[in-house]
Amino acid sequence: MNIKEIKNLTHAEFEELRNIYVSTFPLENAKQLDTYINHIHDMLKNDNRYHLYAALEKRSIIGISLLYVFENLKMALLDYMAVTPNFQRRGIGRKLFEFTSSEFNRCIPDNIGILLEVPKENVSDPNVWLKRKKRIQFYSNLGVKVLKGVNYLLPLQVDGDVEEMYLMIKLSKNVTSISRNSIADFINSVYTDVYEYRKTDLLRRTITNLPDVIDIKGLKVRDL
């Protein structure tokens, strides 16, 4: 297996990327999923801040990592990372994450860190709860920590609902907090640049009650 960045996505590679999404993406709405995948394709084609890293086995894509770099903020968003089900639990996800972090550090050596939108485990379905818990544990084992007091709202709506997420960070610097303004600027940039969501309602709801200083702490197993 090797990992590399794919810059000029071919039709065959796009189909492989789509297949990984279909098998791993949490959204159940097929129409919304297609819209989202096509949006990703357009960003990869037209926005050089958006990067696709792929794990390959015999020239087939078995894992993907999508990173959006905000150079002016010295932060990045890990938009999505997944490994095809047949190759899960082999350490590929960890290697993908480490490769992505290394590439970001190479791109912006003095960066603050990579941020992630991670679904909360406050769901009634036990299978979904367990899947989300494992995802949180996976990232926590990689040193990813949560931004306390940030009520992050994902700007992807299904039937009018808005999902609350953990906003987590893999720090590149030895800090325990980050300023309100830095996170507000990051959220605003994610909404507009990544999701092309230019309404003000979610942004206002997300940043209004942010503390002036946002603590960064690990999520312990007993917190899950």
Per-residue pLDDT of the chain (224 residues; tens, 9 = 90+): 999 999 999 999 999 999 998 888 766 556 677 888 888 999 999 999 999 999 999 989 999 999 999 999 999 999 999 999 999 999 999 999 999 999 999 999 999 999 999 988 888 889 888 888 999 999 999 999 999 999 899 886 555 567 889 999 999 988 889 999 999 999 999 999 998 888 888 888 888 889 999 999 987 655 44
Among the listed residues 147, 143, 153, 77, the one whose alpha carbon sits nearest the alpha carbon of residue 116: 77
Token digits of residue 104: 């970001």
Instruction: Name the residue with tokens 């997300």.
Output: 206
Provide φ and ψ at 158, rounded to 5°.
-120, 115
Q: Where are the domains of the chain?
A: 112-224
User: What is the model's pLDDT at position 31?
Assistant: 65
pTM over 0.75: yes
Measured CA to CA in angstroms, residue 124 lies from 119, 121, 164, 199, 224 at distances of 13, 9, 15, 30, 14
